[in-house]
Amino acid sequence: MLTPPRTESDEILDEQNAPRADVERSLRDLRRINKFAGGLGMYQSMVRRFAPRSIVDLGAGTCDQLESLGGVPLRVGMDFNLAHLAYLRDGSRVHRVVGDAHRLPFRDGAVDLVTSSHFFHHFSPDENRDILRESLRVVRKGVAVTDTRRHYVPLLFMVVLGFLRVVGRVTALDGPASVRQGYTLSEAREIAARTGAKWELLRRWPFRWAILLWK
């Protein structure tokens, strides 16, 4: 009853030719949402489970998740959009790589951990299974991904932020679309089970989950 049907749609922030000012406002919105709505905490919590010395983060955007980590010598943010990686990069110690999550540009066992945050919902169940398997190829320890659970509460939250103009135009449109494309806990479990790896699903307030896969 409290779960809307999953609806796939394109998001403006993913467009290569979206207006620069709108894109940069949306990237700042996402950094604030990660900081104040539990995203950074969830990301740090799942990373600590693996105690990695090297990480590749998929769909890293401005790499704020990686920048929040301490004690990880090698941190690589990967995204298909160079403009997202370049934004606010001055002074950052995170390496940035443009690449495709379906075909990671790394050798087998190249890093300890592959992560992603708010990236999973962009793909179909079959695509996510394949991306998780490809991620397992390049790791020594495991894979950890987190996203927002599809539910009317986070959907309403994003709609209200847009209505009150707390976020920019792109976020006001993309935020609800992201929630509608998200996965429920049972759907996330099904995808994890199809990877063939040992896995665990973590559930966190508010309306977040994480899949952990071990090599």
- The string of pLDDT tens digits covering residues 74-119 is 999 999 999 999 999 998 999 999 999 999 999 999 999 999 999 9
- Model confidence at 16: pLDDT above 80: no
Residue 52 lies in a domain: yes
Asked if 55 and 112 count as a contact pair (C-beta separation under 8 A), the reply is: yes
| Residue corresponding to tokens 């590749």 | 56
Residue 89 lies in a domain: yes
Residue 3 lies in a domain: no
Work out the average pLDDT over 112-139: 98
Residue 41 lies in a domain: yes
pLDDT at 25: 96
**Domain limits for position 143:** 16-148+184-214
Q: What is the distance between the alpha carbons of residues 25 and 189, in angstroms, rounded to a whole number?
A: 34
Residue 207 lies in a domain: yes
- Model confidence at 62: pLDDT above 90: yes
Q: How confident is the model at residue 2 (pLDDT cuts 50, 70, 90)?
A: confident
Work out the average pLDDT over 173-192: 97
Q: How confident is the model at residue 192 (pLDDT cuts 50, 70, 90)?
A: very high
Q: What is the distance between the alpha carbons of residues 181 and 7, in angstroms, rounded to a whole number?
A: 5
Average pLDDT taken over every residue of the chain? 95
pTM: 0.95
Which segment of 55-64, 121-130, 201-210 scores lowest on mean pLDDT?
Answer: 201-210
Residue 31 lies in a domain: yes
Work out the average pLDDT over 126-146: 98
Domain count, the chain: 1
Distance of CA 87 to CAs 8, 57, 117, 194, Å?
27, 16, 18, 36
Q: How confident is the model at residue 1 (pLDDT cuts 50, 70, 90)?
A: low
Residue 206 lies in a domain: yes
Residue 56 lies in a domain: yes
Distance of CA 108 to CAs 58, 135, 137, 141, 175, Å?
16, 9, 5, 12, 35
Q: What is the distance between the alpha carbons of residues 193 and 185, in angstroms, rounded to a whole number?
A: 12
Question: At 44, which CATH number?
Answer: 3.40.50.150
pLDDT: which is higher, 85 or 14: 85
Please provide residue 80's backbone torsions phi and psi, each rounded to the nearest 5 degrees.
-80, -15
Half-sphere exposure of 168 (CA within 13 A, CB side): 17
